[in-house]
Amino acid sequence: MAIVLGPNRYGKAETRLVRVIRDGDTHSLLDFNVSVALAGDLAATHATGDNSTVLPTDTMKNTVYAFAKEHGVGEPESFALLLGRHFVVSQPQVESATISIEAYGWDRLGPHSFAKRGDYTRTAVVTVTADAAQVVSGIGGLVLLNTTDSEFHGFVRDRYTTLPPATDRILATAVDAKWRHLAADGDWAQSYEMAVVALKTAFAETYSYSLQQTLMAMGTRVLTERPEIAEVRLALPNKHHYLVDLSPFDLTNDNEVFIAGDRPYGLIEGTVTRDDVPAAIAEWWL
């Protein structure tokens, strides 16, 4: 029996980068959280602490900031590809580089004034190897709610089941979604905007008998409308809204007054994929 090192990677997580682009008096702002993870020939440092193939994580952080100045920052997918390719090309021991970016939105208030969008974030996870690149885009924390057109009944009942069947309920969720692109180039801004429109439209337009059905409809809509996307992964928390019992006050409650539940919550997760696309080159998670 031997004990061996299994899969491993390392990098600098959550480098916070704010880049101001000045066009005279009119400025724009990009606000990223960048994580770098490198994998490759790292046996020596794990075995003996021989760091001769270890690019310091501190250097990765510096590279993020220097690239923001030298190359500028645009779409998160483009910046992630630039960084990933740099580490694979410049460091022979690096076999794969995964760059993950969360992009925080700022709404313009004036030529150089902005208000932070407090809700959802845009994400990009790019994996680069010597001969391939994989781009995964996504959104996190997009809260959606339908006040009707949602039912849930016909479910399994056992001796612990108390949930009453619902023929008209609130359906609410905070969408975490990621989608894998077929190619490593594209119009990232347009693709992202239209994928998000597809997710929102499918949520709003689906008459739902379960959040699972809504998940499938959302993933299907993205793939139907966006030929550049191979596969969509969704995690949909069921943000339960409970009808308040107003009968002690001699009041009716015809689906008008709710308690917004916090936890626990149902968590519905699934992948919707085309059946004729190449497999992912690297594992990716939601």
Ligand X SMILES: O=c1[nH]c(=O)c2[nH]c(=O)[nH]c2[nH]1
DSSP 53-102: T---HHHHHHHHHHHHHHT---SHHHHHHHHHHHHHHH-TTEEEEEEEEE
Q: Binding string to ligand X for residues 19 to 38, with x set by CB under 6 A, is what? A: --------------------
- Specify whether the CB–CB gap between 258 and 244 falls below 8 A: yes
Selection from 93, 92, 82, 66 nearest residue 128 by Cα = 82
Q: Which lies closer to ligand X via its Cβ, residue 33 or residue 212?
A: 212
Does 51 count as an annotated binding residue? no
Give me the least distance between CB of 263 and ligand X, in Å please.
14
Task: Please identify every residue annotated as catalytic.
Answer: 57, 212, 240
- Specify whether the CB–CB gap between 247 and 266 falls below 8 A: no
Check binding of 211 to ligand X (CB under 6 A): yes
* Dihedrals phi, psi of 160, to nearest 5 degrees: -100, 0
Does 238 count as an annotated binding residue? yes
Stretch that binds ligand X, among 36-44, 132-140, 205-213, 223-231 (CB under 6 A): 205-213
Check binding of 163 to ligand X (CB under 6 A): yes
Give me the least distance between CB of 184 and ligand X, in Å please.
36
Contact with ligand X (CB under 6 A) among 99, 230, 238, 239: 238
Give me the least distance between CB of 236 and ligand X, in Å please.
9
Check binding of 152 to ligand X (CB under 6 A): yes
Contact with ligand X (CB under 6 A) among 123, 127, 146, 210: 210
Contact with ligand X (CB under 6 A) among 266, 273, 281, 282: 266
- Name the residue with the smallest CB distance to ligand X: 211
Does 58 count as an annotated binding residue? yes
Give me the least distance between CB of 67 and ligand X, in Å please.
44
Q: For residue 180, what is the enclosing H or E element?
A: strand 171-181
Check binding of 146 to ligand X (CB under 6 A): no
Place of tokens 């005279």: 24
Does 79 count as an annotated binding residue? no
- Specify whether the CB–CB gap between 90 and 97 falls below 8 A: no
CA angle, 263 as apex, 259 and 269 as ends, to 5°? Answer: 115
> Could you tell me the CA-to-CA distances from 103 to 142, 169, 238, 285 in Å, in that order?
13, 33, 25, 18
**What residues are designated binding site for urate?**
57-58, 152, 169, 212, 238
> Which positions lie near ligand X, rule CB under 6 A?
152, 163, 210-212, 238, 266
